[in-house]
Amino acid sequence: MTIRTYWQIDPAVEPHRSEPALRLQLPGIVRDRRVPTQNRYDYYAQIGQAAVQTGFDGLFIRYRAEADESRIIAAAIAREVPSVEFVAEFPAAVGSAVYAAKQAVTFQRGTGNRFGWAVTQGADAASRQREGDYIEDGLLPERVKEFLKVARGVHGIRPFTLKGGHFEVKDGGFDAPLNRAAFPTVFLQGDSEDDLSLSACQADVHLFRANETSRLGHLIEALDDLAKRADRSPRFGLIQPIVAREFTDEAERDAKRSGVTEHTLVGSYDDVADRLAELAVLGVSHFVLSASPSLEEAYRVGQYVLPRLRTRLSSLRAAA
């Protein structure tokens, strides 16, 4: 029951933090000596450091069209944020799969193989048109599949040729030393039948949305069945927003204050650790945890929840 914990960096939240144009203005009586070279990436790096120092295994960086791009954030902070994994979310519409695979190689070479890909199918049709992407909804899973086939193909096979509906490569494939880097761990998401079928054949880790235990159990079983038929065994993950406080009533109070999304895990440190351990028993091995403000909550969850979770998991292991 080895689990991996990831802290979420959402570049669009806490937008005023370390953003020269948006930061909160101090009253004139406070002498303000902040300089414009302090920028948003200082904040990303600080969240990254917080995750390292509080014992997370990785960072999960969201793709937000209006904010900094996830892969740029990952690379920009990687050299000052040691040891943890960087999972960057981005749609399969970014461009050539060969090119994306090649970029991943340099990231791997420069960071000691710490890169993960959370490839998404893309936004809704209207948003996609604003991105010059006119693919039909029904073809989105197939495009992710082809994207990954081409990327894995050129990474591991030489010469590699594939002529698909979305991507084409002829006599491709990386040579030494590029082909010595590990291919990024692939995280896919979604709860629909199509999403599960795609993950059964392509995901290393499938991330579910936070949900009821029974619903999650059902989804895990469905994916497991599909994967077995494909002779694969992707691991199961969960994107879980959290409001954890010392006491349950404080957590409930703060959850009300902040207006949390459905299925947010709200409770005392013990409540939250109990629930995460329960999910681990259900088969979830990869936890993407999130809370705002990202920095302070990373410390809170890292210091109070993760140690409790680890204790529970060791007792479960001992009991088994």
Partner 1 sequence: MTIDFYWRLPTHGCHSSIRSGNYDRGDWSPLQAGNIAPGTVNGADSDGFTYIDHLAEIAKAAESAGFQGGLIPSFPNTDDPWVISPLLARETRSFRFMIAFQPGFGNPVHTARLSASLQRATGGRLLFNIITGGGGPAQLWWGDSFSHDDRYGRTREWLDVFRGIWGGKGFNYDGRFYRVEDAGLSPLLAAEEFPELWFSGSSDAALEVAAVHADYYLSWLEPFAQLATKFASVKERTAKLGGEQKCAIRVDLVARPTEEEAWRDIKIGFENVSEETRQRWRGQATDSVGASRQAALRPTDARRYEDLIVAPNLWGGFNLLRGGPALGIVGSYEQCAAKLDELIALGADGFILAGTPHLEEAYRIGEEVLPLLGRHSTALLEAAE
Could you list the residues that contact partner 1 (CB under 8 A)? 15, 21, 37, 39-41, 45, 65-69, 71-80, 90-91, 93-99, 102-103, 105-107, 109-112, 129-134, 150, 167-172, 174-178, 180
* Beta carbon nearer to partner 1, 174 or 269: 174
Least distance between partner 1 and beta carbon 36 (Å): 8
Written as one letter, the residue type at 269 is Y
Q: Any idea of the CA torsion for 120, 123, 129, 135, to the nearest 10 degrees?
A: 50
**71 alpha-carbon distance from chain centroid:** 11
What is the rounded CA–CA span in Å between residue 56 and residue 63?
20
Residue 255: left (phi > 0), alpha (psi -120 to 50), or beta?
alpha
What is the rounded CA–CA span in Å between residue 165 and residue 146?
8
Least distance between partner 1 and beta carbon 9 (Å): 13
Cis peptide before 293 (omega within 30 of 0): yes
* Beta carbon nearer to partner 1, 124 or 175: 175
Which residues, other chains included, contact 196 with Cβ-Cβ below 8 Å and sequence gap of 6+? 190, 206, 219, 222, 223, 226
Written as one letter, the residue type at 196 is L
Least distance between partner 1 and beta carbon 129 (Å): 5
Shortest CA distance to 119 belongs to which of 137, 153, 100, 144?
A: 144
Least distance between partner 1 and beta carbon 229 (Å): 30
* Beta carbon nearer to partner 1, 102 or 253: 102
- Retrieve residue 228's tokens: 């077995």
* Beta carbon nearer to partner 1, 53 or 106: 106
Least distance between partner 1 and beta carbon 190 (Å): 20
Least distance between partner 1 and beta carbon 168 (Å): 6
* Beta carbon nearer to partner 1, 134 or 192: 134
- Retrieve residue 158's tokens: 């030489």
CB atoms within 10 A of CB 188: 26
Least distance between partner 1 and beta carbon 45 (Å): 7
* Beta carbon nearer to partner 1, 146 or 195: 146
Q: What single DSSP character describes residue 305?
A: I
* Beta carbon nearer to partner 1, 178 or 282: 178
